[in-house]
Amino acid sequence: MNYPDFVTTNADAFLRSRNIGFDMLATLAREQGFDDAQVLLTSSPVHGIATATSDIDLICVTPQAVSKGQMATQIHRDGQHCEILPIGADDLDRAFADLALLSRCALPQRLAGYQRWDSGHAVRRKYLERIVYAVATDGGAHHLAHLPALVPVAAAQEYDAFHQGRVCAMLAERAGEPEAARGYLINACLSAMAAALSLGGWVLSNKKWTLRRWRKAAGPRMRVVDPLLQDRLTAMWSSVCEPAPAATAREIAALDEIDRRLGLLMGAPSLSGAMPHTAAPCTHAALDKRSAFLIGGDGRARIAATTEAQDPPADLASLATIAAAHAASLLRSARSGALSFSLVAAGSSVEEREDAHALAD
C-alpha cells in the first residue's frame, strides 16, 4: 500500500468535492494568526472516508510554544465547518521521538506507555495519529515517515481491546447474559478489524470509521489486511448483526482462530490464549454474613456477595468451563473497574524470548 499516494489522492478528491483548495485552508490558518505554521489537513478527508457532513480538521504545527490543554478553534466559512488546533513543533518532535522508543518495547510495555501517553505529552494520542497521515497545504504528506513507529503501538492497543472483548464475551456467555455476550462480540470483532487494519499500516482509532475502512480495504489495489483475517472477520460481522444466540456462541468460539492469527502477526503468539489480569486494591466493609461493600481507592463502592471473591482462571481455555456464578462475578468486577484483563499485565519475558528466537532465525 502506497500511503503517500493514498492520502494525497484522498485529500485532493475531498477538496474538489467541496469546491475548495489548499489555498483556502492556508488562508483560514493565516487569518487565525498562524502565518509561519505548517498547515495540515487531517482526519477523514485524508483517509478517503469523509461524508457530506464531515468537518475539516486542520492542525497548525507552529514554531512557537503552545500552552497545554489548548482547545481547537471552530470556524464556519462558506458552508464549511473547520476546526483549527495549534501544536508546537518542539512538542511534536518530542512526541515522535518517544513514539519511536515506545515502538521498540515489548507489547505489554507498548500498551502501558501508550495508555498513559496523554498525561505525559502535549500532543495527545488522537492528534499524533492524525498528524502522521496529514497532508500539508503544499500537497505533501511530510509525517508519514513516522508510520512504522505508529503501527506496532496502535496495533497493540487494538489487539488488547480485542483480547479484553473476547474474555468478556466468554464470561458473559458463561454468566447467562446472551445480549451482553453479543455486545462484547461486536466490540471484539471491530477491534480485531482495527488491529488488522493497523498492522497493514492503516491506523485510525475512531471506532465509527472501522467498518467503512474495512470494506474499502477489501477493494482493488488496497492489499492492507491479512487475507485470512479479511475473510473470517467479514463473515463474523455478518453473523453478529443477526440476533441469534446460537450464532453468538459459534462466533465467540471462532475468536480463537482470529486471536491466534493476530497474535502471530503481532509477533507475540504466546499472548493468544493467555489471560493475565490486574486487580485493583479495595477494602471490604461487611454488611452481613452474605454481603459486603467493596470500596475502591477512588472512594466509590459497590455491594457484592462475599462468595464472589474468586480469582480468574489462569488461561482462556478454562473460561469455557467455569461456573455461571463465577463468570458473573468476574464480569461485575471487570465492569466496575476492579479487575482488568488487559495484556498490560502479561510479563514481557516470553515475548522477548520469542523476539530473540526470531532474530536468531
Partner 1 sequence: MPSPIEPQSPAVRGIRWFPRINAGYRFAAGDHVTSTISAAWLLMTELRAYIEDLAGARDIPDAAALVKIKIAELLLQVDAVLGRAAVPHEMHRLPLLMAYGLSDVAAMDGPAATRLLGLDAPTDGAEVDRLIGILEALLAAFPSDLVDALQPENQGHVLRFLRSANKACERVGCDAGFLAPLMTSL
Smallest gap from residue 175 Cβ to partner 1 (A)? 10
Asked if 242 is part of the footprint of partner 1 (rule: CB under 8 A), the reply reads yes
Asked if 246 is part of the footprint of partner 1 (rule: CB under 8 A), the reply reads no
Asked if 204 is part of the footprint of partner 1 (rule: CB under 8 A), the reply reads no
Smallest gap from residue 145 Cβ to partner 1 (A)? 29
Helix or strand holding residue 296 (H, E): strand 291-296
Binding mask 49-78 for partner 1 (x = CB under 8 A): x-xxxx--------------x-xx-x-x--
Binding to partner 1 in span 137-166, by CB under 8 A:
161, 164-165
Contact 83, 56 (CB under 8 A): yes
Long-range contacts of 51-56 (CB under 8 A, 24+ apart): 55/81, 55/82, 55/83, 56/18, 56/25, 56/80, 56/81, 56/82, 56/83
Contact 289, 192 (CB under 8 A): no
Residue 303 CB partners (closer than 8 Å, separation 6+): 287, 291, 292, 293, 294
- Report the candidate in 109, 129, 126 with the shortest Cα–Cα distance to residue 118: 126
Residue closer to partner 1 (CB basis): 94 or 207: 207
Asked if 114 is part of the footprint of partner 1 (rule: CB under 8 A), the reply reads no
Residue closer to partner 1 (CB basis): 24 or 50: 50
Q: Which of 1, 65, 101, 241 binds partner 1 (CB under 8 A)?
A: 241
Asked if 177 is part of the footprint of partner 1 (rule: CB under 8 A), the reply reads yes
User: What's the grid cell of residue 27?
Assistant: 488562508
User: What's the grid cell of residue 336?
Assistant: 466496575
Smallest gap from residue 356 Cβ to partner 1 (A)? 33
DSSP state of 19: T
Asked if 209 is part of the footprint of partner 1 (rule: CB under 8 A), the reply reads yes
Binding to partner 1 in span 294-323, by CB under 8 A:
298, 300
Distances (CA, A) of 336 to 68, 106, 153, 292, 345: 31, 28, 27, 15, 18
User: Which chain residues interact with partner 1 by CB under 8 A?
Assistant: 49, 51-54, 69, 71-72, 74, 76, 81, 161, 164-165, 168, 172, 177, 179-184, 186-187, 190, 207-212, 214-215, 241-243, 298, 300, 334-337
